[in-house]
Amino acid sequence: MKEKILLLLVLMGLLAIPALSQEAKGATNGAMASVTAPQVATSGSSSIANDPDYQIGPGDKLDISVWREPENSAKVPVRPDGKVSLPLLGDVQAAGTTPSKLATTITQRLRQYLTDPRVTVIVVEANSRRVYLIGEVVHPGAVPMLPNMTVLQALSSSGGFSQFAKINKMYVLRAENGKQLKLPVNYKKAISGQSPEDNFILEPGDTIVVP
């Protein structure tokens, strides 16, 4: 009788080994997954602001970081004159250049004060890249500008026209060389595809007027 009981205990032990092995393997895999799983970073920046060729403009907000120099790092807006104010350096021209070129400029100027400065510039708010909708549209106001945005693409953010809109008399106002240009838009021709020139690519600061 004792031999049978002993044999039964041995068999139960042998059956338990694979289950314990699978459990241990699962626990090991789970531990490895928790260690190696990548963390996804999110950013509030628009996709255009992440473009390496993005041209900084007035109204943009920049995160200028100097490695191991928190007192010389800053989150600053680009002023209407195109400059930013930084510790040690004072005013620095930012508009009209890219984040990488601005980082190079700041690095060169900081060498007067710091040993081996390392600077990164990130556009956290691309406020200069906007177009505007005014007049007889449901949702007038500023529209974030996407790459190669056309008149029709901007109008798609307006929520549609009011019942009083004169859609074939709309136009785009554009500042160029200190002057204001008025560019007519025939909506019916543009949306039909018969007149591609009426659905032209917009530029930052353009204003679409729907009378």
Structure tokens at 113: 């004060």
Which has the closest alpha carbon to 94: 51, 48, 63? 63
Quick one: pLDDT at residue 25?
Answer: 42
Same domain, 116 and 138: no
| CATH number of 72's domain | 3.30.1950.10
pLDDT score of 7: 47
DSSP state of 56: P
Same domain, 121 and 139: no
Token digits for 116? 């081996």
Distances (CA, A) of 118 to 10, 43, 107, 194: 67, 22, 6, 53
pLDDT over 70 (residue 14): no
Q: Which of 125, 146, 179 is the last residue of a domain?
A: 125
The 10s digit of each residue's pLDDT in 140-177 is 999 988 889 999 999 999 999 999 999 989 999 999 88
Say what the pLDDT of residue 13 is. 52
Whether the CB-CB separation of 30 and 109 falls below 8 Å is answered with no
- pLDDT at residue 49, rounded to an integer: 56
Cα-only R_g, the chain: 30
Summarised one tens digit per residue, pLDDT across range 79-117 is 999 999 999 999 999 999 999 999 999 999 999 999 999
Q: Does residue 32 carry a pLDDT above 90? A: no
- Considering only CA atoms, which of 94, 156, 166 is closest in space to residue 126? 94
Residues 6-19, mean pLDDT to the nearest whole number:
48
36, part of any domain: no
- Domain final residue, candidates 93, 125, 157: 125
Sorted by sequence, the CB contacts under 8 Å of residue 144 that are 6+ apart come out as 46, 126, 129, 130
Confidence of residue 30 (pLDDT cuts 50, 70, 90): very low
> What range does the domain containing 98 cover?
47-125
For the chain, where are the alpha helices, taking DSSP H only? 2-36, 99-110, 151-155, 187-192
Pair of tokens at residue 38 = 């990548």
- Judgement on whether residues 113 and 135 belong to the same structural domain of the protein: no
Note whether 121 and 135 are same-domain residues. no
Q: What is the pLDDT of residue 43?
A: 34
